Structures are given as C-alpha cells and as structure tokens.
Structure 1
Amino acid sequence: MERILIIAEKPAQAREYAAALGVKGKGQGWLENDQYVITWCIGHLLELERPEGYMDLEHVGKRWSLKRLPVLPAVDSFRRTIKSQTRQQFQVLQKWLKSSEITQVICGTDADREGQLLFQEVWDLVGCTKPLSRLWISSLTREAILEGMNQLRPGQAVEGLSAAGNGRAFADWDFGMNLTEGFTSLFGSFDTVRKKPNVVSIGRVQTPTLALIVRREWEIEQFVAETYFEISAAFSAEQGQYTGRWFDPAQENRRLTDRETAEHIAARTQGQPGKIIRAEQKKVSEAPPLLFDLTSLTVTASRRFGFSAEKVLELAQSLYDKKAITYPRTDCAYLPADMIPKLPAHLKALRQEPYQENVDEAMTYSVPQNKRVINTITAHHAIIPTTETVHLNKLPEAERQLFDLIARRFLAVWFPPAWYQQTEIVTEAAQEHFRSKGRILLSSGWKMVYDFEDAQDPQAESSGTTGKTRRKNKNRENQQEENTELPAVSQGDSVQTTEVRIDEKSTKPPKRFTQGDLLKAMESAGKQIEDDVLRQQLKGKGLGTVATRPAIIENLLQRGYIRQEQKTLRPTEKGTQLISLIQNRLPHAALLISAEMTGQLEYDLAQVEKGELALEKYMSEVEEAVIRIINELRAYEQKYGKTPLAQAPARSARSAESAKSSKKVHTSSEDQSDQTDKSAKKTKGAKEENGSSAARESGPEKLGPCPRCGEGVIEGNKGYGCSNWKSGCGFVVWKTPICGKTLSQAQMKSLLKKGKTPLIKGFKSKSGKSFNACLVWEDAANGKLKFAFNHD
C-alpha cells in the first residue's frame, strides 16, 4: 500500500487535517486511512545538546568558568537530542518516515520559521530522503486545508526558512550558553533565600529588551520638570462665544516659561477688543484603522482589557485552533490581492449578533481594495475572522473579547472613511494671537462599527487624516477638539475678550513601558514609530519576532530582571546593575544592549531566509561577537576579579502569575541561556507543547503533555487522565495506592515533565519494610509505572 505522510505540529492540528481529508482511522500517535497517515510533533521533539557535550570535562572541569569558554560548534556540528518526555512520539514519526508504505511526505506544521524548524529537526535526524512537500496555510478551516493541499509547495521552496530556523536556534545557543555561563561565573552568586545560584542570564533578544526598560527608567530618574504657563482667553462674537489658546506665530512650539511674561500678556489682553485674522473650515476624512497584526492586537487588548502579551498570544492561538481566526503569529497588517474574491465569505461568517446589522450594511459596499487593506504581505497576512461561523456563546469570556476586537476591526475596513468638519480660528487681541480649534463629526463611516466611547480607541492607534502622519500629541489634540463646535465667524469680524486665564503646568517625564508599549518598541528596535503605515514599512529590524516577544517579556519577569507595577514595567536592581555594567565597563559586550545591532542580526536572519545570505556567514558574525565578549570578560576578571550583581527580588504576585501562565504555552524565547540554569525553567522552543487545549482559560489545570497523544493531562477524582478522552485517548494513571503511597499532583507533573517523580519516602513492602524510591515510566503510553532506586 502506498500512502502519503502528513506531519502536523500538534494533535489538534492533525485532527483538523484528518477531518478535512476524511481520515477516520486511529493508531497510537497517528491517524490513518488508505491514502494518508497523519501524525504530529507535539512542538519541538528535540533540543540542542548542552555545552558540556562538546567539552572535555576532565580537562576543563564541571564548574562554570571562563576557562571552559567559548564553545562554538560549527554549523554542521551542532547536535540535537530527543527529549525524554517526547521520545515515544519521535519514535512514531521515525517509524513512518522510514516506512516503505510512505512514498511522499508533507510538512504540515505551522507555516512559519519555528514551525519549519521543529519539522526539519526530525527530518534531518531521521535522515529521510523521500519526496517532500510543504503545506502552507493561514487558517485551519476545511476550505483552507483543501486549497493548501491542492497548492503544495516543493520542499526546496522552504529551504531558506529551515536555514533561518537553524540560524535562530544556533545563534541563541551561542549567545545564551556561552555568555550566561561567562557572566554568571564573574557576576553571579549563591542566592541564600532561594537556595540556588543567582544566574546572570544573557540572551540575544532578552538583554537588549532589558536595556530598553532600564534606559527608560534612567530617563525618568534624570528628568527635571520644567514649569510653563498656558494662557487661554474667552471671546464674545456676534455669532457666539468661544475660547482660544495663546501662541507665538513666529515660533509655533514656543512655551512660556516665565510667569512675568505670561502675566504681562494676560494683562495686555484682558477686556480688550479683538479681531478674527483667520477663519478656516474644511472637511477632513479619517480612514479605518489597519487590520490587526499580532503586535497591534496585543497593544489594543492590553489597553482595553489589561491582558498581558503572553495572554493575548495564548488566547489568539486558541481562537486559531478553534478555526475562529486566521494565523495569529503574523507581523503583517495587510491582505494579499488573491484574497479579494474570498473576503465576502469571511464577512458573511460574521452575520450574527452583535454584528448582523453591521454586516448587512457592509455588504452594500464594494469589497475593500485600497492599499490600507490590500498590499504586499510577509509570510502571513493580517489577522481576520475565518469563513467559519463562530458560536460566540461557547467561547470563554476572554476569547470572546479578543475575537470581538478582531471582528470589528475587519468590519471597519468595509466601511467608508469618517468625515469631520474641522474649524480653525485665529484671533488677535492687543497684538497677541490665540488659536481656537473645533472638530464636528459629519459622517461616522467606519466608526459606526464601534460603540461611541470605543470609537476613539482604534482612531488613537492607527489611521490617518488625509493621509498625514499623526503623532501622539496630535491624537490627543483631536480628541480634545472632538464635538467642539465653534461659531460661524468670518475673517475680519470684531470680537471682545471677556476673560483671560493663566494655567501653570509642568513638563512630564517619559512614561514607563506597558507591555504593549514595549512590544512596539521591540518591533521598531527602540525607535518611536506612531504611524502604522510607516511601521509596516520598517519591519524586519526589530528585537525578536512577533511570535516570540511576549515570551521575552515573561522571561524578564521570571528571571527577576524586571517587575510589573499595575500596568507598567520597572527594572529591578539586578536588571539595572547588569545593563549599567555592560554599558559602562564592557564596551565589546555593548552590542548585547544595542537594539539597532540586535535588529540588524534579525534582519540578517531574514536575508538567510530569502537565500541572500549564507547561514555559515551569519553564524561567523555571531561567533566573532561571542569570542570578543568572552575575551573581554577574561580581561575584566584579571583586572577586577569576581563582582556579584544584586540578587532578584522576592517574587511578586504578578511574577507568580507569569510563571503559571508560561507553563501553559511554551513559545520560543529566542534565548537559550536558561537551559544552563539547573534551577530555572528551560525555554523549550517555539510552540505549545501540550496542544491547543492548553491555551484555554477555563477548565482543569493541564499538568503536562499526554505521553500517548500530546494533549494535556488533567486530574480527576480517581486518577490522572488525558483531556482528550472524548476523542478516544485512553491514557490514565490511577490514584490507586502504590505500596501505601498515592501519587500527588506535583509528583504527576514531574513524571510528565521529567519522566520520573522526585524521591518518595515511606513506601511499604508486603513484608512491612519501609523503603524510598522514585517512580518512573515502564510504559508511558499506557500509564504503567515502576520503581527506580537510583535517584541521580
């Protein structure tokens, strides 16, 4: 029998492929019929070998030190090992990749760099040479899957993507493994509170992101407030009353910093006659906001609902798995031209409450085709609802809130622009000038999609009045003018000044980053870019990728480099000392805190993906940088010796919440450094290792991945079973006492994560003798355990 093998990223994705292709048979770790075998990876099945695997430990020793460094394997010398908790699923993939029944292989993992990498790791280790194709889709609807199967890409078409995936992994390993060990050996210590080493974690993306937060804090600390004065005057004209604000026509941005001058102007103009020297009215349009990419979605959800970046990614992934939205890990806010004929189907899928009225009106307009909607895309287009009707009442509240943002943003682009009547009056009194502005909504256009108070939010994030760039202060100014109606005066009209008021104000320091603000800063490598169209044009040189930035922020919180205070992020003493040390004492290491330099590395990685830069060339630049920094650390050690940094503060409730959240969804942090910290949680790759259901907000806690199918294991009254039991997975470990001991939840978590429990004391043999042992898997897929007396 000749069959086609499809390898998905996780079980939920495999089930969608099976449903679309009519595959109903089930095996232990795969689905099948006469034409297809569909199996899955459960995220990364492999991990890069630790540095010790490349060392002569008898010569360099087991203790971290600079004399063991650098460890820089050649591109073709990096080795990967099979993770113990996913070994069984790897064996399933290996079996089918080598099977004589399989004549063609289709990579069906997520269509991005990390999805390609987790497949490529297995493909390379197995050494498969069968014909290979790539399934490239942006949603899991039946229509999208079948269309993708009819338009498979040749395996060679994604070789650049595979190379870039390896480049990301290898570079993060080089930076993280070498520099974390190097910095910790010089600046680390033993944390007597936590009873573990105070590791100084360094990462290619993590460290420059920390630098953004620390430098913002320094700006705030060094800020000196400046007092200034605003003068406003009330005028009476024949047509009505209005107010204006003083300005200097020779220097538009001039601030009055001298009270005496302000009082002199106020005294000169108080009660004086005035004259209208300019009165202009014009109609201006405001285009709908751009569609969402992951960053803008996160910023909006954070502002509206207080969601963390990690939370938004978790919710979006769950909506994608439920076929509610298109692929969420996208950095693009546009749609491709070939989607124009399909957009009405996406719109019709929203024809239910609370969107039905808006959908009906949107259908009276033509399909949106302007450049703010249809434009050049990157690997994936903007996030929009799919062609599947979503049962909103079945979604958890947080998912429903996020879907509502996406649905309304998609609806908005079908509607015409909003139109305003904008009025500007310049009044002269006693040779002083006052400006008055008003803005009246004439036609709501796309804003009718939003509730009245919500209409300001998308406007503030993006859109352009008559195509011009709009800065934050411009947005605030427009909001203040909103619904301000000025009298219909004309140039040359006489007025009377009825009141003059002086308001004392002071300049404000820069604001601390929120998670949303930080994501935008990471995207633009620290540059403040408010205009969304320009932001789309400058992508590619940011810190990390759209899918990995949330995990970077979570890692900084968990490692004690930053803390969250309400919605803002502040550096800890440990984080501040690290950046200060690098900036002031380690000039070669300064590239680690250069957002522009790290952004350039990300840009070079994109060139590897396009085939315009060889992977070996990219890695040679990384290796040279690591060598320079290690040599600099040696020189520092000779001159100053070991100088421990501050230890991380006690974990806050926010940090504990972050740690709990990160156990649900494992996204690539683009930093491999914490693999070297035995007490720190390992950063495990780019995807959800315990399947799509782990992203759900409600329901029992997922204790770890099911050894049989990869879904989450949950605790029941009588045992620990797979949450996928309704679909036929029979994995269970019963709570029946074993030699007098019942397996606890913590012990089960350890089993699922490490393949064994911690040492359990007080087992009773049949003769009544007490003994201590660990429990390990005898047959993981069937939940069978055995004792292990070697506790190392």
Structure 2
Amino acid sequence: MIRKLIIAEKPSQAREYAAALGVKKRGDGFLENESYVITWCYGHLLELERPEAYMDLDRVGKRWSLKRLPVLPKLRDFRRVVKSGAEKQFKVIQQWLKSSDIGEVICGTDADREGQLLFQEVWDASKCNKPLSRLWISSLTNAAILEGLKSLRPGESMAGLAAAGNGRAYADWDFGMNLTEGFSSLFGSFDAERKKPNVISIGRVQTPTLALIVEREWEIEQFVTQRFFEVKAEFTTLQGGYPGKWFDLRDDSKRITDPQVAETIVAKTQGKQGEILRIEQKDVQEPAPLLFDLTSLSIAASKKYGYSAEKVLQLAQSLYEKKAITYPRTDCAYLSTDILPKLPDHLRATRQEPYTNLVDEAAQFGLPKGKRVINTITAHHAIIPTTEKVALDRLNRDEQNLYDLILRRFLAVWFPPAQYHQTDVVTMVEDEAFRTKGKVLLSLGWKKVYGSSELNEESEGKSKKKLKQDQTEDESVALPPLSKGEDVKAKRVFIEEKSTKPPKRFTQGDLLKAMEGAGKQIDDEILRQQLKGKGLGTVATRPAIIESLIDRGYILQDHKILRPTEKGVELIKVIKEKLPQAQLLISAEMTGQMEFDLSKVERGELTIEHYMTEVEEAIVRILQELRSFEQRHGKTPLALAPSSKNLKKGKEVKESGKKDKTKPVEESPVKRLGNCPKCGGEIIEGQKGFGCSNWREGCRFVLWKTPICGKVLTVNQVKSLLKKGRTPLIKGFKSKSGKTFAAYLIWEDQLEAKLKFEIENS
C-alpha cells in the first residue's frame, strides 16, 4: 500500500491536517490511514554544529580567543546535528522518509522561509529522492487544507526559498559565532555576581537594533530644549466667534523664539479690526486603514493593550492554530484578486455578537475594492478572519483582544471612507496673519466599526495623542458662517510659551517600525508596504530579537519604554568610536540590504555562494580590526549587564557615569519560563507548581512540584521541557525498589501536563 507522507511543523498543525483528511489512527510520533501518514517536527529538529566541531582544539585550545578565528565553513561543509530532546521524533521522520510504504512526500510546514528551512534540514539529512511537493496555504481551516492539497506546488519550486533559509542560517551563524567569540575574548569578563562569563553577544540583526536604541538615547541626552512662543487670538464677527493662531505668510513653519517679537504682535493686534483674507472649504475623505500585517498588528496591540511584540506573535500563532485567523507571519497588508470570491464567506464567519449588526451593514456595501485592499501580495496576504466561525468563549482574554483588533480592521475595509468638511481660514489684522482650521465629520463611514474612544487610534499616520492635540488647536473648531473679505475684530490676543521636546524613547511598537524601515520610522502605511524587504530581520524574527536584547542585558523595558543599559551603550560606543570596520554591525541600512539580498536569493536573482562570500569577507575584516585593537589597547572589559539588585537600588548608570534620572526598572520576581502548550500564554513559577499566567481566563495547565521518584522539577528543567520537549538528563531518581536511575522527562500528554520517563541509553 503506497501512501503519501505529510511532514508538519508541529503536532498541532499535524492534527489539523489529520482532521481535514479523516486520518484517525495514532502511532508513536505520527498519524495514519490507508492513504496518508502524517508526522511532525517540533520546530527545528536540527541545529548547526558549534564552531569547536570545525577546530583542531589540540592546536587552538578550548578557551575563547581571537587566535581561534575565523571559523568559516564552506557551504558544503556546514554540518547539522539533532537537537537535544529531538532524537526520537527525528528518527520517526527519517524512518517514514525511507519507508517503502511512502511513494510521495508533502512538505506541510509553515509556508515561509523558516518553515521551509526546518523541513529542508530533515529532508537533506535523509538523502531521500522520492517525489516531493509543497503544501502552501494561508489558514488551517479544513477547506483551505483540502484546497491546498489539490493544488500542491512542485518541490523544486521551493529551491530559492530553501537557499534563502540556509543563507540566513549560515550568515547568522558566521556573524554570531565568530564575532561573539571575538568581541567576548576582547571586551568580555567574568560576572562574579552571576558566576558566569559576561558574554558580548553580537548578531547580524541584534546589534544594529541595539544601535537604534542607543543612538536614540544619545539624541535625548544631547537635546537642547528651546523655548518658542505662539500668539493666539479670539476673533468676533456678526455671526459669532472663532479662534486663530499667528503664522508667517512667507514661511508658515517659522517659530517665534524672541518673546519681544510675540509681545509686539500682541500689542499691535489687540482689539484691532481685521478681515478674512482667504477662506478655503472642501470635502475630504479618509479611507479605512490598511489590513494588518504582523508588524502593524504588533504596533496596534502594543498601543492599545501594552503587549510585547513576542506576545503578539504568540497570540497570533495560537489564533491561527485555532483556525480563527489566516497565516500571521506575513509582511503584506493586501489581499489578492483570487481571494475576492471567498471574502463573503470570511465575512459571514464573523457574524456573531457583538459584531452582528456591523457584519450585516458591511455586507450591504459589496466586496471591498481599490488598491488599498486588493493589490500585489508577497508570500502571504494580510491577516484576516478565516471562513470558520470562532467560539469566542473558547479564546482567552488576550486572544479575544487580538482577534477583536483583526476582525474590526477587516470589517472596516468593507465600509466607505469617512467624510469630513474641512475649512481653512486666514485672518489679517494689522498685516499680521492668523490661521484657523476647522474639520467637521459628515459621515462616519468605516469609523462606525469603532467606538468613539477608538476613532483617533485608527486614523492613519498619527498617534492618538498627536491627533488629540492637533484637533484641540486646529481642527475641532466649530466655525460660524464666514466669507472672504468679512470684517472681524481681534477681541483678545495672548501668548502661550512652549518648548521643543526631545525625541521619545522607543516603545516596542516604535522599534518594530524602525526595524522594518531599516532605521527609519515610516508612518505612511502605503510607503511602508512599498519598502518591504529592506528592514532589520523579518516580521517573524523581530519580536525574538527584541526579547534577546533584554535577556542579554543590553536593554531594559520600563513599562512600555525601551532604554539601553550601560553594557549596551558601551558596546555601541566602542564600535562607533574605535572600530570603523565593525561599524557594518551597527548600520541598519547595510543590514537591511543584506535582508534584501536574501530575498534576491529566494527569487533566484542572486546565488547563495555570492551572498555568503560577502558575509565572510566582512567578518574577516572585522576580526582583523579586533586583533589590531588588542595589540594597541589589550583586553578592555565592558560593563556588566545590570543585576536585579542594582536595579532595585537605582544603581544602573548611564554611559557617562552619572546616575540615570529615569526611574529604575525593578525586575519582576515572576519570570516567564516559556509558552503554555495549551493556550500559548506564559508559564510562571508559583508556590506549588509551574502554571499558566492565563489561569484567570480559564487555562488550567500546571506542572505540579510534586516529587517524581524523589526529584522535584527545577526552573531550568521546566524551561527545557517547554522549549525542547524534554528536560536535561536528571540523575538520582529512585524507583519503588530503592534503585537509583537517570532519565529524561518528556511529554506523555503535553496539553494535560503529563510526563513520562525516557531512560538514558546505557
């Protein structure tokens, strides 16, 4: 019986494939019926070997040193090994790939670069030459899976995507392994408090991202506040009163910085007659915001709910696996023309309270049109609800919040634009000009989808605070009937003193924008879509980069604000001031270009060999520069990462050596250990066990601290279990007979937190 083998990215994905295909028989690490065998990875089952595997350690030694570098394996020489804890599942996949029962293999991992890479790793390791196809879908609904299986892509069409995946992995390995060892041997030290080395981690994307945060901090420190003065007036006419603000007719961006000038204008115009020089009136339309890609979704969720980028990705992945939304790791905010006929099904699936009336009204406007909705897409279209109705009460609170954002943004594009009547008035008094802006909402249009408190948040290109300020001063004015040439009187003229503000520190949402724009925060959403592919990292990797900067002691998160630590500042300073060749590492534009080159590899426009040659040449130059620095200055340890003890006492200081005036961040005693297998929430340590932080929303996942054959799970063991599916080898278990033994703990039933032993092979 010849069957088809589907390899999924993870067990939950495999279960969805099985449900769609009616595959019910369970095996150890796979599901099967007469036609299909479905097995799965746990993310990446293999990893690139450590640099020491390519070294002659007897010659170069085991201690990190510049003398051991560079280690730059040729493309054909890179080796992967099975990750600890993944041996069993890797063996299952290999057995099926080599089985005579299998006549065709289908790659069913996530339809993106990393999904292709983790499949490619196990495929290449097997040397399998069976016919290969690619399942490429944007949601896990039964209909999408079955439709995708009818239109499989040829395996060879994924060659570019696989090459780009390998290019990303090899380049990150070359940069990270060589330069982390190089920088650590020169600028690292021993952290006596933590009792481990203070590693100076370097990354192709991580380091330029850190530079963005540090350079913003320097801008803030060097900012010189300047006073300026605004002259405002209250005018009266026969029809009523209205306000105005002075401006220079020749240069409307000019500010008054001399108080004498402001006082002169007040004295000159107070109580005087004037006339309306110009009045312009027009009706304007404001279209609905673009649909969400992962970055814009993360920004919206950060702004409204304070979610980190990593949390948004976790929640979105959970919603995807629950068939609530389409594929979330997308950098595209458009839909393709071929999805248009299916959009009514997507809309009908959202018809439940509290959205019923909005859905019914949306349906009356017909299919969404225009290039703001239907346009050229990348690998995946924008994030929208699927064609399956979601049981909202089965989502936890955070999932409901994120789903609400996605659903309302989807509903908004069905509605017509919001309409305003806009008025711009210029009033002249004694040759001084005053401007008045009025903006009156005529029709809500898409804004009906949102409550009044959320309207400003959804308007394009402006933060809620900015909108509120603009409208208070310029646009919310209720104007009486006015006409050109009409006489007015400056009833009251007064001065408001203001001052320029320094740039703001990044929030995670702001940083995602800057990473996407290769260092430039691009608010215009259309322009943002046009510049895809040249940012720092990808939509899927940026959240992890931010978290790694926090974990490695380079930055701190103070509520929503990110700021650099002394360690982070010193690293960027030494690169910027002492290491010109290494400035490649902090160039957002250069790293963005590397990301763009990877996309060219994916499209077959650039060979992976050419890409890697440029990577290797850059690393060799930087290592040579580090050697020269060492000869001139010797080892120069950088600051240690801040400790929780110092943070609580307010001892974290800036690079200048002065105490930071910003309120110190107290590290929470509750630390995230990993993702909840049941709901995607955060696992934290409690008194009696390790449980899900979403317990208030009904998640009952918990690993109890009940002794298992005499041993109680430790924090590190739980971390490993959540990340790798197994603990490290635990010694000292005692059987009922009193005999001691060593074993790994692995999942027997992950969703129910049941464990079982995996005995070490003797």
TM-score between both structures, scaled by the size of structure 2: 0.91
My pick for the range that moved more, 744-753 or 338-347, is: 744-753
Q: Which amino acid aligns with 1:744?
A: L
- SS of the aligned residue for 2:85 comes to helix
CA distance in 2, matches of 1:176, 1:377: 32
CA contact (8 A) 1:71 1:178 kept: yes
Q: How does 1:575-586 map to 2 (within 5 A)?
A: 575-586=568-579
Residue in 2 that maps onto 1:571? 564
Where does residue 749 of structure 1 map in the other structure?
718
Partner of 1:518, secondary structure, is helix
Instruction: Indicate the residue corresponding to 1:394 in structure 2.
Output: 394
8 A Cα contact 1:230 1:256, kept in partner: yes
Q: Identify the residue that residue 776 of structure 1 maps to in structure 2.
A: 743
Distance (Å, rounded) in 2 between the aligned partners of 1:596 and 1:430:
51
CA distance in 2, matches of 1:526, 1:658: 34
Contact 1:558 1:659 in 2 (8 A): no
Letter in 2 for 1:600: Q
Cα distance in 1 for residues equivalent to 2:327 and 2:228 = 49
Cα contact 1:412–1:447 (8 A) shared by 2: yes
- 8 Å CA contact retained: 1:114, 1:165: yes
Deviation at 1:488, TM superposition (A): 1.1
In 1: Cα distance, 2:730 partner to 2:412 partner: 59
Q: Quickly say closer, same or farther: Cα 1:640–1:697, change in 2 above 3 A.
A: closer
Tell me the residue number matched to 1:404.
Answer: 404
| Equivalent in the alignment of 1:433 | 433
2:673–2:682: 8 Å Cα contact kept in structure 1?
no
Distance 1:460 1:375, change over 3 A: closer
Secondary structure (helix, strand or coil) at the match of 2:674 reads: helix
Distance 2:573 2:614 in 1: 25
Q: How big is the shift at 1:487?
A: 1.1
1:541 maps to: 534
Counterpart code for 1:628: R
In 2, the alpha carbon distance for the partners of 1:765 and 1:116 equals: 46
State the one-letter code of the partner of 1:305.
Y
Letter in 2 for 1:776: A
User: In structure 2, how many angstroms separate the alpha carbons of the residues matched to 1:227 and 1:751?
Assistant: 55
Question: How do residues 348-359 of structure 1 correspond to structure 2 at under 5 angstroms?
Answer: 348-359=348-359
Q: Are 1:592 and 2:585 counterparts?
A: yes
One-letter code aligned to 2:406: I
> Structure 1 counterpart of 2:680, which letter?
A
1:60 aligns with 2:66: no
What's the counterpart of residue 498 of structure 2? 505
- Helix, strand or coil: the match of 1:455? helix
- 1:566-645 alignment, distance < 5 Å: 566-645=559-638
Is 1:302 equivalent to 2:302 in the alignment? yes
Q: Is the 1:775–1:785 contact (alpha carbons within 8 Å) kept by the matching residues of 2?
A: no
User: CA 1:301 to 1:777, structure 2 compared with 1: closer, same or farther past 3 Å?
Assistant: closer
Secondary structure class of the residue paired with 2:201:
coil
Change (3 A) 1:760 1:775: closer
Map Cα deviations across residues 522-550 of structure 1 (whole Å, 9 max, x no partner).
00001132110011001110000001101
Equivalent residue for 1:663?
Answer: 674
Q: Compute the displacement of 1:775 (Å).
A: 2.5
Partner residue, 1:326: 326
The alignment covers a number of residue pairs equal to 727
Note the 1:449-488 alignment, pairs <5 A.
449-461=449-461, 477-478=470-471, 480-488=473-481
Alignment partners' CA distance in 1, 2:733 and 2:608 = 55
1:239-250 aligned within 5 A: 239-250=239-250
**Structure 2 counterpart SS, 1:236:** strand
Q: Distance in 2 between matches of 1:60 and 1:425?
A: 77
Q: How does 1:181-196 map to 2 (within 5 A)?
A: 181-196=181-196
Q: Following TM superposition, by how much is the alpha carbon of 1:749 offset from its aligned partner in structure 2, in angstroms?
A: 2.7
Cα distance in 1 for residues equivalent to 2:55 and 2:670: 32
Deviation at 1:392, TM superposition (A): 1.1
Deviation at 1:657, TM superposition (A): 6.5
* Contact 1:318–1:696 (Cα < 8 Å) also in 2: no
Shift of 1:758: 7.0
> Contact 2:337/2:374 (CA < 8 Å) preserved in 1?
yes
Cα distance in 1 for partners of 2:464, 2:680 equals 36
Taking the aligned partners of 1:751 and 1:613, their CA distance within structure 2 comes to 38
C-alpha distance in 1 between matches for 2:484 and 2:746: 89
Trace 1:69-468 onto structure 2 (pairs within 5 A). 69-461=69-461
How far off its partner does 1:477 sit? 2.6
Question: What is the distance in 1 between the residues matched to 2:202 and 2:669?
Answer: 20
Q: 2:467 and 2:206 mapped to 1: Cα distance?
A: 33
- Distance, in Å, in 2 between the alignment partners of 1:203 and 1:342 is 42
CA separation of 1:759 and 1:90: change in aligned 2, threshold 3 A = closer
Q: 1:539 to 1:210 in 2, by over 3 A?
A: same
Aligned partners of 2:233, 2:302: CA distance in 1, in Å? 39
Q: Which residue of 1 aligns with 2:512?
A: 519
- How far apart, CA to CA, are the structure 1 residues paired with 2:436 and 2:474? 9
Q: 1:483 to 1:251 in 2, by over 3 A?
A: closer
C-alpha contact (below 8 Å) 2:190/2:198 kept by paired residues: yes
Note the alpha carbon deviations across 1:437-493, whole angstroms, 9 max, x for none: 11110000000000011011110447xxxxxxx999688535754542211110010
> What are the superposed Cα offsets for residues 713-754 of structure 1, whole Å, 9 maximum, x if unpaired?
9656697xxxxxxxxxxxxxxx553xxx24435475377459
* Deviation digits for residues 43-72 of structure 1 (CA, Å, limit 9, x no counterpart): 000000000000000000000000000000
Distance 2:685 2:345 in 1: 36
Equivalent-residue separation in structure 1 for 2:259 and 2:185 (angstroms): 57
What is the match of residue 674 of structure 1? none
Opposite residue 161 of structure 1, the aligned amino acid is L
- Amino acid paired to 1:75: L
Corresponding residue of 2:651:
none
Offset at residue 787 of structure 1 (A): 8.0
* Mapped partners of 1:147, 1:186: distance in 2: 56
**Identity of matched residues, %:** 60
Q: In 2 relative to 1, CA 576–283 (structure 1 residues): closer, same or farther, beyond 3 Å?
A: same
What is the rounded CA distance, in whole Å, between the counterparts of 1:397 and 1:6 in structure 2?
34
**2:364 counterpart SS class:** coil
1:482-514 CA distances to partner (integer Å, 9 max, x unpaired)? 542211110010011110110111100001100
Asked whether the equivalents of residues 295 and 331 of structure 1 are also in contact (C-alpha less than 8 Å), the reply is yes
CA distance in 2: counterparts of 1:766 and 1:110, whole angstroms = 47
State TM-score, norm by structure 1.
Answer: 0.88
Deviation digits for residues 638-686 of structure 1, max 9, x if unmatched?
110000000000146979679944722xxxxxxxxxxxxxxxxxxxxxx
- Whether the 8 Å CA contact 2:41–2:89 is kept in 1: the answer is yes
Q: Deviations over 1:556-601 (max 9, x none)?
A: 0010000011211110000000000001100000000000000000
Report matched runs for 1:35-50 at 5 Å: 35-50=35-50
Gaps of 5+ in 2: 649-664, 692-698, 749-754
Determine the C-alpha separation between the residues in 2 that align with 1:779 and 1:394. 28
Q: How does 1:679-718 map to 2 (within 5 A)?
A: 693=678, 695-696=680-681, 715=702
**2:536 matched to 1:551?**
no
For residues 765 and 698 of structure 1, do their structure 2 counterparts lie closer, same or farther at Cα, with a shift above 3 Å needed?
closer
1:687 aligned partner? none
When residues 367 and 700 of structure 1 are mapped into structure 2, their CA distance, relative to the original with a 3 A threshold, is farther
Change in Cα spacing, 1:480 to 1:227, as seen in structure 2 (3 Å) is closer
Distance 1:432 1:318 in 2: 60
CA distance in structure 2 between the aligned counterparts of 1:747 and 1:496, rounded to whole angstroms: 75
What SS does the corresponding residue of 1:437 show, helix, strand or coil?
Answer: strand
* Contact 1:471–1:530 (CA under 8 A) maintained in structure 2: no
Paired residue secondary structure (1:63)? coil
Tell me the distance in 1 between the aligned counterparts of 2:734 and 2:252.
Answer: 82
Find the aligned partners of 1:307 and 1:414 in 2 and give their Cα distance: 27
> In the alignment, is the contact (CA less than 8 A) between 1:167 and 1:618 conserved in 2?
yes
- Higher RCO (CA < 8 A, seq sep 6+): 1
User: Over aligned residue pairs, what C-alpha RMSD do you find?
Assistant: 2.7
- C-alpha contact 2:730 2:744 (8 A) present in aligned 1: no
